[in-house]
Amino acid sequence: MSTKILSKAFHLKAILSLGLPIVGSFLAQNLLHVTDTVMMGWYGVPELAAVVLGSSTFFILFIFGSGFGQAVMPMVATAVGQNDETQVRRDTRMGLWLSILFGVLCYPVFWYSGPILRALGQAEDVSCFAQIYLRIAGLGILPALLVMVLKSYLGGLGQVKAALWITIVAVFLNVLLNYMLVFGNWGAPELGVAGAATASVAVQLFSIIALALYAALHPDYRRFFLFQRFWRPDWQAFARVFRLGWPIGAAGLAEGGMFQAAALMMGWIGTVQLAAHGIALEAASLSFMVHLGLSNAATIRVGRMFGEKDARGLRDGAWMALLLSAFFAGVVIWIFLLWPEQILNLFLDRSDPQTAEIVRFGVGLLAVAAVFQFVDAMQVMAMGLLRGLQDTKVPMIIAVFSYWLIGIPLSYLLAFKANMGGVGLWLGLGCGLCAAAVMLTGRFWRRAPQLFP
């Protein structure tokens, strides 16, 4: 067997060993939101629509702030490739600082979310429930952002299993707390949307405490002294993390904002349609988590090869990551097209008279999601590969252009001017993803050969 084949096999194994635990962690993390959606679907349609709207609002701010945490991963991976342990500590600490600052500054948006959502055209009852949810759930954004930083820190060091197990425990905790607080079981008060929000905050607090203890006390990582003299600023590292992180957050905001805008536009169509949109988006998000996990593994591998100046390893690792993501996209297409009703019914109470209408509408949305699986996989993989090269500003511009100058206008035109409704809205989103996939992938393969002359 040739050296080249062995090299590619090695990269395939490396990406799988990193990627599968990250995928599991992201899937488990996403299940936190899925369980909220499922249980609120059992509780009531207005409450479900409110949690869909509220959680997407939370996510849009979280994804922007998480750019600082995500920046830590390629920076730590590159520092490890250069054998610079001091830089690992400096970059991670300042990622934590920036995340704390962002979490404090954004909470007023959650507190005043009701008037904001009403001004954006949402129904009075849905906006009221969403505000109740966000005033409580918004308290969890600070621990959630810190969890992202520590996951990135450990991922950059090649340790990805701890986050997986902590997140799995968090999912079970969320189910138990939702069952108790949403429906008023085991002697607890019936809190509805407030119960779902309270459970989410409790789970985020558990996750950050567990992850911080692991990062601080594990024998393999004590040498980094991550929390020692944590209050001391390191303005050079602060600036580096900020410069790399804000474009990552802005790119995520552009993509997440596109889906938030879609949720708002779907709310203009109707509450049933918004509920179907939320369920279909949860299903699509589960598949996206696999691509996102593989993308994170690609970021780590490319960042390590970038630090070691290994051009061939960088290219081979990129190819293996792309092939794995494409394979999984094919599997998801098959599932979405064969069993859409079964997927949708998992989230709904079949005795509810609106369930049949939600399922009919949601089947069309899942069909559109299947059509765009490959381009969705390609764009998130390309973004991860570019982050491994610490290239974030141009990808951010590409994301903003693709999602807001192509995706959103097309969604509006197809949904309301071409009278295609929700299916047209999702087709527009898919076109935005397609544009991003082509441009981001092209940028990576143009840049990669130029790195090491």
Closest CA to 387 of 20, 66, 96: 66
* Pairwise CA distance, residues 441 & 127, whole Å: 39
* Pairwise CA distance, residues 2 & 345, whole Å: 50
The count of other CB atoms within 10 Å of the CB of residue 339 is 12
Q: Which residue would you say has higher pLDDT here, 102 or 156?
A: 102
The count of other CB atoms within 10 Å of the CB of residue 213 is 11
Q: Cβ distance 414 to 425 under 8 Å?
A: yes
Number of independent structural domains in the chain: 1
pLDDT per residue as tens digits for the range 338-394:
988 888 887 776 777 777 888 888 888 888 888 888 888 899 999 999 988 888 899
pLDDT per residue as tens digits for the range 235-278:
888 999 999 889 998 888 888 778 778 877 888 888 778 888 87
Q: Which domain holds residue 60?
A: 3-450
Q: Indicate the residue type of 242.
A: F
DSSP 364-387: HHHHHHHHTHHHHHHHHHHHHHHH
Closest CA to 434 of 348, 375, 352: 375
Tokens 């990805």 sit at which residue? Answer: 160
Closest CA to 38 of 406, 348, 317, 418: 348
pLDDT per residue as tens digits for the range 120-145:
777 777 788 888 888 888 888 999 99
Q: Cβ distance 77 to 299 under 8 Å?
A: yes
Q: Strand (E) positions, 195-290?
A: none
